Chains A and B, each alone.
Chain A
Amino acid sequence: MTPDSSSTTASDTRRRVSVPAVLLSVLLAILVLWLLQRLLVPKYVDGIVEGAFVAEFYGAEHDHDLIFVGDCEVYENFSPVTLWQEYGINSYIRGSAEQYIFQSYYLLEDTLMYEHPKAVVFNIQSLQFDKSRSEAYNRMSIEGMRWSPYKVGAINASKTEEEHFLDYVFPILRYHSRWSELTAADFEYMFKAKKVTHNGYYMRVDVRPVTTLPPVKPLADYSFGENAWAYLDKIVQCCREKDIQLILIKAPSLYPHWYDQWDQQVKAYAAEHQLPYYNMLEATEEIGLDYSTDTYDGGLHMNLSGAEKCARWLGKLLTEKYSFESRRGEKHLEEVWTGIISDYNAEIEAQKIKYGIA
């Protein structure tokens, strides 16, 4: 200590600090915080993998002709591999668990920053939710998005009362308490991701037939919320401006129940906006669905067999009605798909062993 500083008052006893030391410590602090954040965020590699879907898209080749947006009724019910193998349609599913319609809209906008598909298939079952019901589902749908005005929009449209925008900017604020439940996977996947889908498709090969369905409860009010309609308008407008064919579907999941009153509203909307709408529940015979073999959870979602049937039906429709042409034979695309297909087949084998299917 210099002689003059030793004679100063108590509050000046703090030693002088050089500027490089301060800069170094700030950098160190940021680095430590970043590492901690990487460590603490959920990795979605085992158990619940749905949180990994949205981010996986950015690693794909962005040259798709068809994009699906929607919830589990798209990412479990259609197999892009079948669409490619049988119709040469290059597709990707931007689905996530209980994806709300506003999230679908922003994910669509986000997707269109990277590519320009010929058609977009949107599953309209999420019209029934006017606003978010669950913070956890918000997280899984939004977190994987890269930062863009659309991510900001998705957060603001989705966040429940207890959520803060800041928690999305710095996920460590949300997941800080995971320090006591870290697993080996959190360390292993700190800087890398594990591929869990096949072009957005979440595969299940096991079978649980539909036996009984829960009773259908009558609702007090069947009309969809204003907010939900407004976002459907936005999706329609977005596709129209970019000259993309929008196709509305209701996937053939038996449960949760799809009410006739709901179907009427969508039909009316589609007619008014001159949009195609296919309620696949009305086409189960045409698709060839057998609910005793094609679902893995008693009718909620399709298994591999069901998803391939749905894809086949859709491929035929797209080829016949929407002049989709096969891109089989394009050298680069074939290479890309060879990789995807081999992963796909490997997982089929692995799951067959896992679920004890011959």
Chain B
Amino acid sequence: MDQLLEILSNLHPDVDFEMEDRLIDDAILDSLDIVDLITAISDEFDVTITAKDIMPENFNSAEAMYDLIQRIRDEE
């Protein structure tokens, strides 16, 4: 989780990712951020996030992203 928060704050130093839970809905992260984020997560966690996983509910908060990573790991 800390690893993920670090990636996120590298992306947007000004956002409090521990508290935000409407990252997509409030357009804090845009589509370019999402792609950067996926690249970073894939590199750091060694999971493959594909387009089908990109849904607002998976990226609205750091917690949701962490759940997604866990889920993909389990499946693989």
Q: Direct A–B touching in the complex (beta carbon < 8 Å)?
A: no
> Which residues of A are interface residues toward B (Cβ below 8 A)?
none
> Which residues of B are interface residues toward A (Cβ below 8 A)?
none
